[in-house]
Structure 1
């Protein structure tokens, strides 16, 4: 059986909620990848007057500067999701590596890393993010690094907890008795056994990072103009709500829909790896 056939069978056996989540995620990914080809205008191109109504020319109207809302909504998928994904990958690279090292080697190294993480987690994440972004600037690389470092503390905690539990298992003790080194045990015994939970955690952490970036952009400290971003789009068009225009709800709805879709897929994945049967 090929990988494609296995994937099709897995999708066919998934519950309706997971299928819905997967379809939504694939739709967003397609929008992000094909953004320049499916939009009628450029991302930052001013094409009309401010706040024009929906029409055959401007499918979702224009924003406060006269830019096409549909175009910016599609490009927002590429920017918001792409930056959130890069941030989550970096956070997991840092946090997962630190958690595995701390649990495997323990001793003073575990104490030093754990206390450092405790200090960082003692400060509310949003306040700390606002502070660091205000100090170091709001460029996209700075935003990714700052948020990744802050979110890696959560990844460190869950990785360390899972790895400590795995490190005292019989299969790890057997590997130590065989004379295997700590690095080999960490890579070949501990990591494979905690990976399914970490994969699910990756999806959840992506949602948290995605929402945090959108929140910072809404406050003006996230992704900066003229780059399209759903959080800033809500802020820029929020005044239309007072006139009964639902346009500001579109980027807000895009944020909520993706978050729900990812959580549905994560729930299904956790249920699958747990070995439980569907009711």
Structure 2
């Protein structure tokens, strides 16, 4: 073997070793992050979401800048002589509502309500759905039958009718809104998790865990749950905008938070009689709701494609 041949083989071996090192440690989570950070739409949507969260957290700063508390009524300064809302100006940047309150400040404080309900209700929904889905899919038998039928019953219940009934029994509020949304949303999460668990529980490493004496709880939460976590995260990111819209819908119907608490759905409902003479009263709260839900939806689509690039490839083939 010549010196040149040895040198070529050495270079090939070194290149192979470097390639192996570059591949080493690239698990599904790292691969998903690499795909996500190259998705411009998802990154921009994530930045918008972070800005909305920052605005909600620092809502009191807007009060200091404008000098207008969210529930302060400016009957002289904020209303025209005819008693109509005033349009955007240097005093009220986004105009005023029917009571002379600053719309900008109320939108900012409304972001706290929408994001708070969206995150808390989504976490409650996902927690219940994951627990039910794990139990149904792994335990099987009678447990699976009972829980599967329960899921079918919850999915078949008319949401708004039951929400109206609950509000008529209790008083509308933040807690009731979160509980109602959580109760009627967990079933879809449970169905997805159950389907994933049914396909995982028969795999070799689950059988190996059983043979080593692992209990059901350990197998469910240590061996199975991490393998369905990616699907749960994807569904969570797509569920948050749905919850925000549902909360705004309940407030629009008078079933959510009660005045004078700033709330996007309630603001849109209050503007119904003024859309011809005060367009800003309807447009700006509606834009806040649209931008927030659109950002979460686009980010959720990016997360889904990052964890499952095949879905994006199938979409491109169909196009």
TM-score, structure 2 as length reference = 0.79
Question: What does residue 14 of structure 1 align with?
Answer: 38
Question: What does residue 69 of structure 2 align with?
Answer: 42
1:27 equivalent to 2:51? Answer yes
Question: What does residue 174 of structure 2 align with?
Answer: 140
Further displaced range: 178-187 or 110-119? 110-119
Question: What does residue 88 of structure 1 align with?
Answer: 122
Question: What does residue 170 of structure 1 align with?
Answer: 204
Trace 1:97-108 onto structure 2 (pairs within 5 A): 97-108=131-142
Contact 2:97 2:281 in 1 (8 A): no
Trace 1:229-248 onto structure 2 (pairs within 5 A): 229-243=263-277, 245-248=279-282
Question: What does residue 87 of structure 2 align with?
Answer: 53
Question: What does residue 118 of structure 1 align with?
Answer: 152
Deviation at 1:11, TM superposition (A): 9.3
C-alpha separation in 1, matches of 2:153 and 2:244: 24
1:222 equivalent to 2:247? Answer no
C-alpha separation in 2, matches of 1:172 and 1:125: 38
Contact 1:63 1:237 in 2 (8 A): yes
Deviation at 1:241, TM superposition (A): 2.1
TM-score, structure 1 as length reference = 0.90
Contact 1:117 1:153 in 2 (8 A): yes
Contact 2:86 2:278 in 1 (8 A): no
Unaligned 5+ runs, structure 1: 1-5
Aligned residues: 272
C-alpha separation in 2, matches of 1:210 and 1:216: 10
User: Which among 251, 254, 261 is matched to residue 288 of structure 2?
Assistant: 254
Cα deviations by residue, 1:128-167 (Å, 9 ceiling, x for unpaired): 3233233232121122112111111222111211222221
Q: What's the C-alpha RMSD, in Å, of the aligned pairs?
A: 2.2
Further displaced range: 39-48 or 185-194? 39-48
C-alpha separation in 1, matches of 2:61 and 2:116: 17
Contact 2:85 2:278 in 1 (8 A): no
Further displaced range: 244-253 or 180-189? 244-253
Question: What does residue 159 of structure 1 align with?
Answer: 193
Partner SS for 1:241: coil
Cα deviations by residue, 1:152-189 (Å, 9 ceiling, x for unpaired): 12221112112222212222222222221111111111
